[in-house]
Structure 1
Amino acid sequence: MTNIKIREIEMYHPKNKVGNEYYIEHFKKEQGDDLTHFLEDICGRNTRYIIDNEEENSVTMGIEAAKKVLKKANLSAKELDMIIFASQVPEFVFPTNAVALHHALNAGNHTGILDINANCSGLTTGLDQASRNLLANPNMKRVLLVGSDAASLVMNPQDTITYPNFGDVAVALILEKTEEETGFIDSMYYTESSDFDKVTFPKNGLSKNLHGRGVVDYVQWLPFPGDVSIEKATIMIEELIHRNNLSTQDIKAYCLSQFSIQNIELLRDNLGLKDEQMVYVGDKYGYTGTTSPLLAMYEGIQDGRIKRGDTVLFWTVGIGWQLIAVLFKY
């Protein structure tokens, strides 16, 4: 039986490491607010990596992560059947960002390219869609999947929610067909679009900005309940697990959205999970948007919490909002 496995996974982040102290002092000075409790106890932040130069961006970070994972897998880019690039802060609208990766990696003429944007759920959606594409296409064997967000580029220095929360990171993984009893298991989506206009960039849409009726500057983040998706997430995760004849305790690692440690704790309690099943890296990297759950997996592999043969559940939420959960046997 043909399965789809994660052959290798790698990541890249800029060198500039910024601690909570910078943001606490920034907002004390600018607004008189002390964000210590918010950052440490609700968001679970400590440090994050932020681009501090004009050379790095989502594409350059993606290229570096891709080079690392190809080297780790001992592969040439010419052995790839497709390159998929996921970002909510793409460097280009024209051309695709994936074609920039294709060029930098010297991939082959028969390597397909594709950009996707599902906001923060983008890379997890890419994991699902790439796996299903590989299963369906007998002529495809291997996909390079890259997620990268230079989120700091569009976060408002006056906004206490976004500015101190996000970090800049790229994650790259190689998906390939195998006859091993491992890999992609199943996925599930849930979309509730009533809040589609709460977080926008450009604020009033691209057309109005280009016609001079707005300014493309920072993400607009209007108030909405921070735990709005947790109840639905609990239901969909339980359904996904049970329809695959598993229990919540059969899942070795839960690699969830790293937006807030508080949300992860709510899901832990709702699902009756143990602390050791939850992988949290938002204290180290901040919230990295599209890469968030796969970054958690990378760290879990690095520190030995996730090993070959372990069943992993990915879950995250994109603004609007769109939920996705994916079951995978690593």
Structure 2
Amino acid sequence: MEQRYAKILATGMYLPEKVISNEELSERYGFDVSTYLSGITLRHIAAENECASDMGVKAAEAALEKANMKPEDIDLLIMTTDTPDYVTPPTAPAIAYKLGASNAGAFDINGACADATIGLSIASQHIMLDKTINNVLVVAPYAMSKWLDWDNKVLAPMLGDGASAAIVTVSNEPGYITSTIVADGQYWDGYGVYVGTKYPVTKEMVEKKEHLLRFHPNFHKYPPDVNYGHWPDVIRKSLKKAGYTEKDLDMVILTQVRLADIEQTMENLGLPLEKTHWIMHKYGYTGSACAFMALEDALNEGKIKKGDLVAFCTSGVGYVMSSALFRWV
């Protein structure tokens, strides 16, 4: 069987027009929200008539333009988010239809804010194992503002909206190397949007705002180091699979929820901050979309060059974490 490889060809992103600053929220809440938001200074908010697929299409169009590709060139479209248009049907076919990707198969994955990295891995593996799939579009929209209770002074200030996309394509040299997924389901009752077969929507729920993003009544707290205490090990698992060490890494792209978590992760890895990149001060925290946004911003600043070893590591509630290694080719 012919050896096939996959690489990241292009990225794209989209941010809604409306912006809410920390200062605006601080005035509303009567305290400085910046005191617990590590690095976040603002958040973009989707328009009332703007949904996840709408934003995803705009990010996808930007990626296609950079790749000099047409929607018809896409063989597979993977939508990664925990804020889809609907519980069902899936959102990926709607994005493909709106985009004009008439030749693409399409499906959703939900790994909460870890899912973009998982999507990259799945896209790469499809290309490497199926010679009929040469171009995969991974679309990561995030529309959590639709589920926010703005009276929740802890969760609401953390989150914003946006979308990003990455095109993974067949390559004549290795780009994608390996990946890792870990999970610890004991934290299912930390916080989330608790609507579904376990919690069907009722009138009483809506009246109490229990259909929105909230802390679960069990109030199962994540440990303070849930991210920076685990991200390094998730990255090391992928490095070990590939025969690399931390010192081989040239760039580390992490979930953009807290700058302090990124700083402590890099310290744990023994790497300088110059080998990572953060964007929450520019774009806010955009959940599923943040990793590709950080990648695009790092590329725009010239921080990634041909031959670099790039690690992605993202995490989502529940919890789910994933890392992936790519050689930049």
Indicate whether the TM-score tops 0.5. yes
1:207 Cα deviation from its structure 2 partner: 5.5
The answer to whether structure 1 residue 175 and structure 2 residue 175 are counterparts is no
1:15 Cα deviation from its structure 2 partner: 1.3
* Cα distance in 1 for residues equivalent to 2:298 and 2:93: 30
2:145 partner amino acid: S
Task: Give the gaps of 5 or more residues in structure 1.
Answer: none
* Counterpart position of 2:53: 59
Cα deviations by residue, 1:100-139 (Å, 9 ceiling, x for unpaired): 112112222x421111111111111111111111111122
* Counterpart position of 2:281: 283
* Counterpart position of 1:270: 268
Cα deviations by residue, 1:131-172 (Å, 9 ceiling, x for unpaired): 111111122111111000111111221223321111211111
Q: Is the 8 A contact 1:193 1:320 kept in 2?
A: yes
* Counterpart position of 2:308: 310
Q: Is the 8 A contact 2:23 2:32 kept in 1?
A: no
Q: Is the 8 A contact 2:140 2:164 kept in 1?
A: yes
1:77 Cα deviation from its structure 2 partner: 1.4
Change (3 A) 1:224 1:206: same
* Cα distance in 1 for residues equivalent to 2:13 and 2:174: 22
* Counterpart position of 1:209: 200
2:24 partner amino acid: Y
Change (3 A) 1:177 1:200: same
* Cα distance in 1 for residues equivalent to 2:10 and 2:290: 17
* Counterpart position of 1:146: 139
Q: How does 1:175-254 map to 2 (within 5 A)?
A: 175-179=168-172, 181-202=173-194, 205-206=196-197, 208-210=199-201, 212=203, 214-215=205-206, 217-221=211-215, 222=219, 223-254=221-252
| Matched residue SS, 2:244 | coil
- Normalised by the length of structure 1, the TM-score is 0.91
The answer to whether structure 1 residue 114 and structure 2 residue 107 are counterparts is yes
Q: Is the 8 A contact 1:13 1:169 kept in 2?
A: yes
Cα deviations by residue, 1:6-29 (Å, 9 ceiling, x for unpaired): 11111011112222101111210x
* Counterpart position of 2:95: 101
* Cα distance in 1 for residues equivalent to 2:237 and 2:88: 40
1:164 counterpart (137, 157, 180): 157
* Alpha-carbon RMSD: 1.8
* Cα distance in 1 for residues equivalent to 2:186 and 2:154: 21
1:177 Cα deviation from its structure 2 partner: 0.6
1:44 counterpart (39, 57, 62): 39
Change (3 A) 1:280 1:178: same
* Cα distance in 2 for residues equivalent to 1:160 and 1:279: 28
- Normalised by the length of structure 2, the TM-score is 0.91
Q: Is the 8 A contact 1:208 1:214 kept in 2?
A: no
Q: Is the 8 A contact 2:56 2:95 kept in 1?
A: yes
Q: Is the 8 A contact 1:66 1:146 kept in 2?
A: yes
Cα deviations by residue, 1:267-322 (Å, 9 ceiling, x for unpaired): 11111110101211111111111122221111100111112322111001111111
Task: Give the gaps of 5 or more residues in structure 2.
Answer: none
Change (3 A) 1:231 1:145: same
2:74 counterpart (59, 65, 80): 80
* Counterpart position of 1:137: 130
Q: Is the 8 A contact 1:313 1:328 kept in 2?
A: yes
| Matched residue SS, 1:214 | helix
1:206 Cα deviation from its structure 2 partner: 4.5
Q: Is the 8 A contact 2:149 2:156 kept in 1?
A: yes
Change (3 A) 1:94 1:191: closer
Q: Which deviates more, 270-279 or 181-190?
A: 181-190
2:50 partner amino acid: E
Q: Is the 8 A contact 2:115 2:314 kept in 1?
A: no
Change (3 A) 1:200 1:86: same
Query: How many residue pairs are counted as aligned between the two chains?
Result: 319
Cα deviations by residue, 1:14-47 (Å, 9 ceiling, x for unpaired): 112222101111210xxxx3323212xxx21122
* Counterpart position of 1:27: 29
* Cα distance in 2 for residues equivalent to 1:282 and 1:319: 19
* Cα distance in 2 for residues equivalent to 1:140 and 1:298: 24
* Cα distance in 2 for residues equivalent to 1:249 and 1:13: 34
